[in-house]
Structure 1
Amino acid sequence: MKQQTFSNLQTHWKFRHCHGGTLRTSSKGRGARPLSSKDPIHLVFKVNMTAVSKGLRSPRNFSLLNILLKKYARKFFVKIEQFSIQSDHIHILVRGSRRSAIQSFLRVVAGQFAQCLTDTFTKRHEGERVWKHRPFTRVIRGFKPYKVVRDYIQLNEMEALGRMYSKTRLRGMSPEELRELWA
């Protein structure tokens, strides 16, 4: 029986700008990670709550994540346009000048988050994995999708700060509510 190769695996057209997360479990997300040096990229890191005590919004973890994000954004010349840290996941909207810089930023930030959250600089981590899935990335093409992602990240931040959660969220928001979101 001939061995299956993944080099010619075609991604479904809906997911051509997405990679990682739960897409990785199906054949839809197994192509190369699409990255762009011209367009913004939406990143989502999903943490395994059993591996990280107190979640990401605890004061220690929150300040640590802020410091690491800013440090490695400067190092790899990646501009962080917006980010939101929830108790179990992180949303980041970034732009980079080179594909290799964005790849390095993704790799180093994920590794440093995991090492700092589990204190594994001197000892080996024997518990569960820190990340639930590989980081989800989506290249944002066009102004309308960019605006939707910006509003979504802002809404997530407001919900982390105490705003009531609603299932309709962005779909049911009026222009006045969107202005209030950014006030």
Structure 2
Amino acid sequence: MMKQSKQQTFSGFKVHWKHRHCHGGILRKSSKGRGARPLSSKDPLHIVFKVNKTAVKKGLRQPRNFSLMNSLLKKYSWKFGVKIEQFSVQTDHVHLLVRGKRIQLQSFFRVVAGQFAQVLTDTFSRKHEGDKVWMYRPFSRVIKGYKAYRIVRDYVRLNEREALGRPYSKTRLRGLSLEQLQELWV
């Protein structure tokens, strides 16, 4: 009898069809997000890093944290050949719309999250005893089709505008009017 490799054991998970292109984030708490992370070399990827508010007291929009996140994204996207199409840094999370190859994307996730946590907690010189910096593993979703791509692109742009002072509306996710969409891209 032939021994099965570890990589093949991941394929045994049954993933609900709604979550077949998603992984990580709060999905990890249920069986829906425990399969292998779906990544695509052809399609763009929407990534969300969620920070633990107790570990990062002033949030990611605080000037030091904001510039640290921007410099890490720029440095490691160039190093791993990941194209960042859009990004938005909020007080408690970061949205990215990226493209790249599977192995490069995996390395990019790991290094950006790790480097941000290490610099923020100064783990280079001493052991960190406090809360974890990241609340969950990064959420990722493969964007299939142009309509879905447009929705995510507008969503990331809307989040950035709200971080810069645009008023928040609870009904914003139900769809924006044509005038509101044009306002986002001005």
**TM-score, shorter chain, exceeding 0.5:** yes
| TM-score, with length taken from structure 2 | 0.93
**In 1: Cα distance, 2:175 partner to 2:132 partner:** 37
Contact 2:11 2:36 in 1 (8 A): no
Aligned residue for 1:114?
117
1:160 equivalent to 2:163? Answer: yes
Match of 1:176 in 2: 179
| Structure 1 moving runs of 4+ over 4 Å | none
Which segment is superposed worse, 166-175 or 122-131?
Answer: 166-175
Cα distance in 2, alignment partners of residues 156 and 91 from structure 1 = 8
Deviation for aligned residue 1:170:
3.6
Q: Report how far residue 137 of structure 1 moved.
A: 0.3
Confirm or deny: 8 A CA contact 1:57 1:85 kept in the other structure. Answer: yes
Contact 2:83 2:99 in 1 (8 A): yes
Q: For residue 94 of structure 2, give the secondary structure of its aligned residue in structure 1.
A: strand
Residues in 2 aligned to 1:61 and 1:169: alpha-carbon distance in whole angstroms:
27
Are residues 1:89 and 2:101 paired? no
Partner of residue 46 from structure 1, selected from 50, 70, 80 = 50
| Structure having the larger proportion of residues in helix | 2
The answer to whether the aligner puts 1:34 opposite 2:22 as a matched pair is: no
3-state DSSP class of the match of 1:90? Answer: strand
Q: Is there any run of 5+ residues in structure 1 with no aligned partner, and where?
A: none
Q: Give me the whole-angstrom Cα distance separating, in 2, the residues matched to 1:103 and 1:6.
A: 17
Specify the alignment match of 1:100 in structure 2: 103
- Partner letter of residue 82 of structure 2? V
Which whole-Å CA distance do the structure 1 matches of 2:160 and 2:44 have between them?
19
The aligned amino acid for 1:125 is H
Instruction: Report the aligned-residue RMSD.
Output: 1.1
1:77 aligns with 2:85: no
Aligned equivalents of 1:151 and 1:54: distance in 2?
Answer: 27
